[in-house]
Amino acid sequence: MKKLWGGRFSKTPEQWIEEFGASISFDQQLVLEDIEGSLAHVKMLGKTGILTQGESERIQAGLLKLKERAQAGELEYSVSEEDIHLNLEKMLIEEIGPAGGKLHTGRSRNDQVATDMHLYLKKQVKMIIEHVKELQSSLVKQAEKNVETILPGYTHLQRAQPVSFGHHLLAYFWMLERDKQRFEESLKRIDISPLGASALAGTTFPIDRHFSAELLGFSGVYENSMDAVSDRDFIVEFLSNSALTITHLTRLAEEIILWSSKEFSFIELDDTYATGSSIMPQKKNPDMAELIRGKSGRVFGNLISMLTILKGLPLTYNKDMQEDKEGMFDTVHTMIGSLKIFSGMIETMTVNKDVMKEAVNQDFSNATELADYLAAKGIPFREAHEIVGKLVLYCINKNCYLLDLSLEEFKEACGEISDDVYAVLSPTEAVRRRNSYGGTGFSQVKIQLEQAKKLI
């Protein structure tokens, strides 16, 4: 079969080599972006007189027919035409005749594919931002219902201090807010048009790159044609932002996995987001959280792959860069799926408030309250720390907790302690009193919630 670029060649490659070199199996995902870019290009060719207005309109009509067929899933792609660009060009020629071959005037597949990816990522990043907002909304809804729900806060996975569960959930809201900002910031680098850079050096035709960019909704154009066709920074940035976002999701996934275990029993997941065992009838596994935790590996891998492809790559376009798409597509699909799953999982989970409350009443997470209490009475904090540490050891040996001690036992450890110590050691009061800005105090959590609502 005659290649659209085959004039210089005396023979065609064997089929298995064609299949190895072809990208149509995955870059067909860019079909609508490719047609969109072609429509803008041919309108520009007509405006500048490079093609007659009649030729431009005829090609536009053919492209619009291909777009309809693409949206209906009726296009059939061929490996022999290698990629989405040549497949569509061949279809266009079949649709309107030899005039379809004029579409490629003043451009190359190099600037064409770069334009497609800019268009694609611009849409997808905006969609990801919306899904981040949806997850933030789910976190806010649960946090609002659990401002005064208290659970142990942890450091080193050891119980540290009692905190508001709403406060804990809002920590992830703020992580996601930074993620959202990074994606929004990256749109500045995505929203640039490479169209018209041609193969690498521009073109002798009197094209109007700014007009094409305007038609495509880009805010500007690349200033250097070599940079335009070789730049993949915008993909690296997207992959990097995604890697950090899914890292945050894995942290929340791990907590959900722990909280839903029998050992914690702090939450129960909705059946939609859990699965059973093929052999153990009693099991309810947090598979969706585990799967997202695992999917981080492919997102990290896609980032490393892209960096490796670009490392040491000379200007401008090289066939290596065909490998830039699959990881990008995979990360887009992984991020959208993970964010959607998480939104539903957080919004529908059941919070076992009584179990959380019992946990903070049967631990030493209120020990810092006693140290602060002594420090407020004028005892140097380091000395107060030692007094409380000895009291904790005393309780461990006695198999009890600080609130179980009598006032006499407290006074034996430190004469400055009076009967107001019991109110101080109450987990609810311990949380309520932590009203420093951004703290876990109930009034501060409510302030956070108002700020969060404004941001989404």
CA distances from 311 to 246, 307, 321, 357, 360 (A): 24, 6, 11, 53, 52
Q: Kindly list the catalytic residues.
A: 156, 277
Q: Compute the distance between CA of residue 128 and CA of residue 179 in angstroms, rounded to an integer.
A: 10
Pick the closest to residue 328 from 253, 252, 233 (CA basis): 233
What distance lies between CA 437 and its chain's CA centroid? 28
* 8-state DSSP, 201: T
For the beta carbon of residue 381, count every other beta carbon within 10 angstroms: 12
Which run of H or E residues covers position 159? strand 158-164
Q: Are 213 and 220 in contact (CB under 8 A)?
A: yes
Q: In the numeric block, which tokens belong to residue 444?
A: 């501060």
CA distances from 240 to 6, 115, 187, 303, 322 (A): 39, 21, 14, 6, 19
Q: Compute the distance between CA of residue 163 and CA of residue 439 in angstroms, rounded to an integer.
A: 9
Cis peptide before 48 (omega within 30 of 0): no
Q: Are 44 and 98 in contact (CB under 8 A)?
A: no
Q: Are 96 and 58 in contact (CB under 8 A)?
A: yes
